[in-house]
Amino acid sequence: MALKQLTDEISLIPGLVNVYILQTDDGLAVLDTGFPGSTKKILAGVRALGRTPTDVRHIILTHCHPDHIGNAAALKRDTGAIVWAHPIDAPMIEAGTTMRPPMTPSPGLRNLLLGKLLAGRVSQVEPTKVDRLLEDGDSPPFAPDMTVIHVPGHCAGQIALFWRRHGGVLFTADACINRGGLKLAIGTEDPQLALASLAKLATFDFDKVLVMHGNPIMADGSEQFRRTEFDTFPKKREI
Ligand SMILES: [Zn+2]
Ligand SMILES: [Zn+2]
């Protein structure tokens, strides 16, 4: 079981999609749940912390894509946890339909090819009831020093989380990934909104950048983030 302890209260289960386990004021919170079929792996991570499934009290879903909500229903069943998400994505999660096509591939041939490869591969997952909503500026009751940041673009109802601990911890959702440096995710619903959301995140001061795809950045996060020149999209031709 590859569980990485990043800080006293943040553990990472690394994979194609990362899953984080947070120790909060009210038990454990699982942040995103991976592609369907990873429930056992996540619960093994909980046990590796010396805890049991019922210690998981919260499941936070950053957005409705299948690689993030794939085990939410099963985990909720096994743990009895409360599921949290943004109101724009909650209906998608509750329907188990996970993509709002069309997505625009981020610049670069690799993104275009991967986008084509992955598009529609998992278009339906087990629906999950969203129990509570998280909106921009909210602080969840289980982590009062955490702030929700609405970061639409990649997905309309996407949220990042800023935790005022250890010099600031930013959970980016898929606003960016960290594969060979910080960059845009493979695709995005609204390119201009995606870039605006990155500019919004850059206004926060944080030491750690915890992405859902790729390696965590454990120091000088703001500096690295602000130094990054994210790809820009070709401007739409004006008519
Ligand atoms: Zn996504
Ligand atoms: Zn993703």
For 187-202, what is each residue's pLDDT tens digit?
899 989 999 999 999 9
Residue 90 φ/ψ, nearest 5 degrees: -55, -45
Nearest CA to 64 out of 123, 5, 19, 146 is that of 123
Nearest CA to 230 out of 186, 178, 180, 195 is that of 195
Is 238 a domain residue?
A: no
- Ligand 2 is an ion; its neighbours by CB within 5 Å are 67, 174
Cα–Cα distance between 41 and 133 in angstroms, integer? 26
Is 93 a domain residue?
A: yes
CA 60 to centroid of ligand 2, rounded, Å = 14
Is 144 a domain residue?
A: yes
32 alpha carbon, closest ligand = 2
Quick: pLDDT tens for 53-62.
999 999 999 9
16 alpha carbon, closest ligand = 2
Task: Give yes or no for residue 25 having a pLDDT over 80.
Answer: yes
Residue 225 is encoded by which pair of tokens? 């983030």
Is 174 a domain residue?
A: yes
Quick: pLDDT tens for 150-203.
999 999 999 999 999 999 999 999 999 999 899 999 889 998 999 999 999 999
Is 50 a domain residue?
A: yes
Task: Give yes or no for residue 101 having a pLDDT over 80.
Answer: no
Residue 194 is encoded by which pair of tokens? 């995606």
* Residues 161 and 201 sit within 8 Å (Cβ to Cβ): no
Q: What is the value of pTM for the model shown?
A: 0.94
64 alpha carbon, closest ligand = 1
Residue type, 69: I
First to last CA, the chain: 55
CA 143 to centroid of ligand 2, rounded, Å = 24
Cα–Cα distance between 112 and 222 in angstroms, integer? 29
* Beta bridge partners of residue 178, listed in sequence order: 182, 214
- The pLDDT assigned to 236 comes to 58
Number of structural domains found in the chain: 1
**What CATH number is associated with residue 22?**
3.60.15.10
Pairing of strands 177-178, 56-60: unpaired
In terms of residue numbers, what domain contains 69?
A: 4-227
Residue 198 is encoded by which pair of tokens? 């990155």
